[in-house]
Amino acid sequence: MEELTLTTPALLFSAVSLILLAYTNRFLSYAQLVRTLKDQYEQHRSQITVAQIENLRHRLYLTRTMQILGIGSLFLCVVTMFLIYIGLATLSIWVFGVALLLLIGSLGVSIREIQISVRALEIHLDNMER
């Protein structure tokens, strides 16, 4: 195996930063949606609104998990760079491996959240068809 250099974990910075930006934008849109659903629920308490609220709550928890895993990955990339800098090559390889696993986990949770978001839109479309 080739030696891990400072460049390798640094390459993930831009990718993880863009992913975190997308997650943050998603979170902000959910915050706006929560406010809208609250107003709808207070005006007219329907099963559709309740289903949307439950769906949104689950999506918020998934988004939080995605953000935590992504931030953890970025944090461990920085730790990896520090370990390389102080000469702990073997440990840096293991820490970088964990950072990659956290990133994989974050992306996996993102896939699940997208599936649930599609279901939320289906609920809305079903309501419009009636």
Tell whether 1 is covered by a domain: no
Do 99 and 16 contact (CB within 8 A), yes or no?
A: no
Weakest mean pLDDT among 8-12, 17-21, 85-89: 8-12
The top-scoring range by mean pLDDT among 16-20, 49-53, 111-115 is 111-115
Q: Which domain, by its residues, includes 43?
A: 7-129
Tell whether 2 is covered by a domain: no
> Residue 40: what are its φ and ψ, rounded to 5°?
-60, -40
Phi-psi sector, 38: left (phi>0), alpha (psi -120 to 50), beta = alpha
Query: How many domains does one find in the chain?
Result: 1
Residue 59 CA: distances (Å) to CA of 16, 43, 48, 80: 20, 23, 16, 31
pLDDT in tens, 110-126: 999 999 888 878 877 87
pLDDT in tens, 52-111: 788 888 899 999 999 999 999 999 999 999 999 999 999 999 999 999 999 999 999 999
Do 13 and 21 contact (CB within 8 A), yes or no?
A: no
Tell me which DSSP letter residue 93 carries: H
Q: Give the pLDDT confidence score for residue 107 in this predicted structure.
A: 95
